[in-house]
């Protein structure tokens, strides 16, 4: 995996995107840490997570697999939290308002164990940060 930080977010402009590339598979993910914008390239897999081959009689090689582009143009935002113990923060995008409600609910349940939790989102040309804990 190669990770590159600091490219401009095409959605909110203010935020910085992280680009994660898997050189072995060619999969790529772009994620904005401020607004949750996401795009990338994924290998097509079946419901079990197995890679789908164009020709199943041929080996698993880059030209024998399907690549699908995806883009989340209007995500709800970006969630992050830091537990009191361990000191490792977690960050993940919230695609929808429902995802935000789920995150809020899980934070409410475990807030005694958290040092910090917040949601950052892009609204009307600026980034708003909601502190939950």
Closer Cβ to Zn ion, 5 or 57, answer by number = 5
| Residues 98-117 interacting with Zn ion (rule: CB under 5 A) | none
# of chain residues touching Zn ion (CB under 5 A): 8
* x/- letters, 81..100, toward Zn ion (CB under 5 A): --------------------
* Pairing state between β 38-43 and 2-8: unpaired
- Judging by beta carbons within 10 Å of its beta carbon (0-12, 13-18, 19+), is residue 103 exposed, middle or buried? buried
The position carrying tokens 């914008």 is 37
User: Of 93, 71, 73, 77, which is closest to residue 126 (Cα–Cα)?
Assistant: 77
The position carrying tokens 């807030």 is 111
Closer Cβ to Zn ion, 53 or 91, answer by number = 91
Closer Cβ to Zn ion, 9 or 94, answer by number = 9
Per CB under 5 A, 119 contacts Zn ion: no
* x/- letters, 24..63, toward Zn ion (CB under 5 A): --------x-xx-x--------------------------
Let me know the angle formed at the C-alpha of 25 by 23 and 31, rounded to the nearest 5 degrees: 70
Residues that bind Zn ion (CB under 5 A): 9, 11-12, 15, 32, 34-35, 37
């Amino acid at each position: 995996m190669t990770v590159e930080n600091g490219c401009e977010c095409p959605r909110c402009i203010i935020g910085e995107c992280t680009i994660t590339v898997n050189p072995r598979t060619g999969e790529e993910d772009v994620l904005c840490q401020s607004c949750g914008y996401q795009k990338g390239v994924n290998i097509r897999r079946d419901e079990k997570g197995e890679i789908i081959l164009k020709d199943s009689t041929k080996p698993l090689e880059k030209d024998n697999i399907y690549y699908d582009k995806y883009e989340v143009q209007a995500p709800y935002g970006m969630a992050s939290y830091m537990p009191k113990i361990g000191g490792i923060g977690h960050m993940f995008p919230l695609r929808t308002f429902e995802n935000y409600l789920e995150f809020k609910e899980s934070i409410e349940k475990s807030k005694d164990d958290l040092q910090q939790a917040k949601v950052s989102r892009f609204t009307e040309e600026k980034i708003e940060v909601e502190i939950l804990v």
